[in-house]
A = this chain, B = another copy of it.
Amino acid sequence: MAKVSFDRHPDQYRHWHLRVEPPIAWLELDVDEQGGLVPGYELKLNSYDLGVDIELYDAVQRLRFEHPEVRAVVITSAKDKVFCAGANIRMLAASSHAWKVNFCKFTNETRNGIEDATENSGQVYLAAVNGSCAGGGYEIALACDRILLVDDNSSTVALPEVPLLGVLPGTGGLTRVVDKRRVRRDRADVFATRPDGIKGRTAVDWRLVDELVPRPDFRAVVTRRALEAAARSNRPEDGRGIELAPLERTETADAIDYRHVSAALDRDLGVVTITVRGPGDGGWLLAMTRELDDLILRLRTNEPELGTWVFRTEGDPEAVLANERVLLDANDWLSTEILLYYKRTLKRLDVTSRSLIALIEPGGCFAGVLTELALACDRQYLLDGPPIDDEDSAERACVVLSDANFGVFPMGNGLSRLESRFYGEHDHLDWLKRERDRRLEAADAVELGLVTDAPDDLDWADEIRIVLEGRGALSPDALTGMEANHRFVGPETVETKIFGRLSAWQNWIFTRTNAAGPEGALRRYGTGQKANLDRKRV
C-alpha cells in the first residue's frame, strides 16, 4: 500500500469546508464519496475514513495557530439531512486489524485535540447537528462543548455500533456518554443498543444533546450560541496568526529527515533511531514539534514492523533552556499554543504502541522540554564516560531538569511525567525541583532515579545492543499491552479511560469472530445476511 501522508492544506481539502468569520469558524463536513484514502469503498452519508480525519486534524491545528481571532468553532454538515454517519463500515470491514486500531487511535487523538482547544485555547467547539448523526458522527459531537440538535422529527443521535456491527463506539463514545455527559448508565445502555437512536425531547432529557432547535431557527440559534461561547472565551483579541508552512521532509528507504528531526530506520533490528537537534533560532520548538508530530504519525501508520523507537538528542542543553524560557515567560497566545502542541505530541508518544528508549549521550541536549521526551520513554540509558568515538574528550552526558518538567506538559492522567515516574513520592519530587537547571551527569542522574542504567563507555555498545535485540525478540502484542499498563499510574481521566479501557476492549472485539470473522456482524452489515454469532459470553 502507498504510504500515508499527513500533509494537508485547506485549499486542497476534499471533505471539509473551513470558513472563518471571526470570532466564529465554520467547519462543514461535506465528504466526497469518491475520495476514500484507499480504494474499495464509497464514503456515503458523510461517513469518514482516515483521510477525512487527517483533514479534520489539519483544520483543528490551523485554527489554533493561523486564526487567533477565532474563539468558537462550529462543526456542522454541508449535506442535507445528514450530519455524519460515522466511520465508514465498508472501510472498517475491509481493513486489517492493525489498520483499524491505528485509525481509531488517530481519530481519538483528534477528538481529544478538539477538547484541548476548547479547554485550553479558548476556541470553543460546538456541534450543530443538522441531520442524522450516528456512531463516529455522534462521537465528534461528544467531543464538542455543546451539542445542538435540529428538531425536525427525524434527525437523531445514535450509537448503533453494538446492535448493527457488533463492535463498540470506540472513539470515546461509551466513555464520554457516561463520564463526560453523565448520562445515567441504564439510559446509556438503552441508547447504545438501539440502532435507530434517540431524537427530540428525550435526547435532551437524557443529556445526549444540550439543546433542541427547530429547523427554521437552526442557523440563527447556532450562531447565537457560538457568539455567546466566543464572548466567554479568554482568547486574546489582538493576536496575529502565523502560517503553518508545508513541512520540508526528505524521505528515502531507510531515513526520514526534517530540519530538526531525523529518523534512521533499521529494518533488520526493527528499530528507528530518532535524533532531535537542539535549537538554532527562536522558532525551534514549534518547528521541531511539527516535525516530530509528523514523524510519529508516519511511523505509526507506515512502519508497523519497526517496534522500537530510540530517542537521541544533539545540541547544547543551555540553548534548549534559553529557548524554552522565552516561551514559558511569554504569556502570549502563540507561546501558549506552542507549549500545548508539544504537550499533545508527547501525549501521542504515551499512547504509541512502540517501545520507547532514550539514549543520553555526550553531545546531547536532554534538558527541560527535551528531558520530557526522555521521560516519555519506557527506559532511559545514560552513557557514563566520554563519547564512544572520542575517549580523550572531557565531555560527559547529562540530563537537565527545568520548570518545564513540573506540570507544563501533563500526561493524559493529569500528572506530570515526573509525578507519574515518582508516583506519590512527594519528598523526592521536592528534591528534584531543587535540582533544576543543573547538569545532572551519571552519578546524579542515577541517584535521582532519572535513568534506568548508566553503563560506562566499555559496556555501552554491548548493553544497548542487548536491550534492542532483546526487545525485538519479544511478542509485539504483549509489549503493547505491558506498556499501556505501565505508562499510566495513579488517577484516571476520560482521556486515559478512552485509551486504556475503551480502546483495549475495542481491540479485543475487533479480533473476535463475532465482529471480524467472515460471518461476523461487521463483515455482514449491509449484505442482507444476518451475522452468525457464537452466543458464548466471555
What is A's interface to B at a CB cutoff of 8 Å? 97-98, 101-102, 161-163, 165-168, 174-175, 178-179, 182, 184-190, 192-193, 270, 304-307, 353-354, 377-380, 420-425, 449, 452, 470-472, 474-487, 489-492, 497, 500-502, 504-509, 511-512, 514-515, 521, 531, 533-538
Contact = CB atoms under 8 A, between A and B. Distances in A.
A193 B474 contact: yes
A270 B535 contact: yes
A140 to B, nearest CB: 19
28 contacts: A162-B478, A166-B474, A166-B475, A178-B423, A182-B423, A185-B420, A185-B486, A186-B377, A189-B378, A189-B482, A192-B482, A353-B537, A475-B514, A475-B531, A476-B514, A476-B534, A476-B538, A478-B509, A478-B514, A478-B515, A479-B537, A481-B505, A484-B501, A505-B507, A507-B508, A507-B538, A508-B508, A508-B511
The main secondary structure of chain A at its interface with chain B is: helix
A168 B482 contact: yes
Contacts of A178: 423, 485-486, 489
A162 B475 contact: yes
A483 B537 CA distance: 12
* Copies of this protein, total: 2
Contacts of A179: 423, 489-490
Contact of A162 (B379, B482, B515): B482
Nearest to A470: B193
B535 A489 contact: no
Contact of A184 (B97, B307, B449): B449
B380 A186 contact: yes
Contacts of A490: 179
Nearest to A168: B481
3 closest A-B pairs (Cβ-Cβ)?
Answer: A166-B475, A504-B504, A481-B505
Given A486-B185, A501-B500, A501-B501, A190 B379 contact: yes
A267 to B, nearest CB: 10
Contacts of A192: 482, 486
